[in-house]
Chains A and B, each alone.
Chain A
């Protein structure tokens, strides 16, 4: 089973991932924009059981999404890097913040949620599927 690794900006938090991601995408919602300070969060989906934090201290902020559900957002307390985003809707999975992976090729997004928030100056790969808002009918 392949192992992948990642860390926050300051290196205090390190993690290991067992196996390949289920899939990867982007979320451009307001919460993901504010947590990243960027135009989107790059989310790399793994089963929770595949994620091991090997060192470091995480802070957790639980946000209520636009759809009214809890999303636990974990970050490094020493540098703020977003690390893990766990939506209550899917209790067995967790999204790893793609920008913190050592191998960014794992994070290539195949879709984007909330593309109606996408700014004019940004274009994303035409290979992606774009959802305005969050597609309620989607099951993972």
Chain B
């Protein structure tokens, strides 16, 4: 039985808990994830919605209508940290932003999407399955 995963934003106002096994761990190098993180990719740890709880604080949300389906991005209004994303079209899913986890020791993404817009100075190992865009839905 997996232990719970906990995490929170930079300022500590938003704290969450996820129980059970993660469904998937992935990276996304699309332009929206790069702007949303200010970085080179988003790290996403997906859980069934029922397994995820915001235990403290409130998130603000932004409806990110990109080229594909809507992604609702939840962030802390006090510090801006992206906490989780809810992509539509994948069922009842919450994707935690990996950088906000308290314990990243078992964070191992297995798939990366939108590698076509990845930064050339990021190198991903062959163990991470890399898609030019997103392949089939998980």
Chain A, Cβ-Cβ closest to B112: A121
Q: How many residues of B contact A (CB 8 A)?
A: 45
Contact A80 B82 (CB under 8 A): yes
Contact B73 A79 (CB under 8 A): yes
Contact A98 B122 (CB under 8 A): no
**Residue interface mask A49-87, B partner, CB < 8 A = 1:** 000000000010101000000000101111111110000
**Residue interface mask B100-138, A partner, CB < 8 A = 1:** 100010011100000000011111110110000000000
Residues of B near A99 (CB, < 8 A) are 34-40
Contact B38 A128 (CB under 8 A): no
Flag whether B79 is at the interface (Cβ < 8 A).
yes
Q: How many residues of A contact B (CB 8 A)?
A: 45
- Can you identify 17 A-B contacts, CB atoms within 8 angstroms? A33-B104, A35-B10, A35-B38, A37-B82, A37-B83, A38-B39, A38-B40, A38-B98, A59-B79, A75-B80, A77-B77, A78-B62, A79-B73, A80-B73, A100-B35, A109-B121, A122-B124
Q: 8 additional contacts, CB 8 Å, given A38-B43, A123-B123?
A: A9-B35, A34-B8, A37-B97, A42-B38, A59-B77, A59-B78, A61-B10, A73-B10
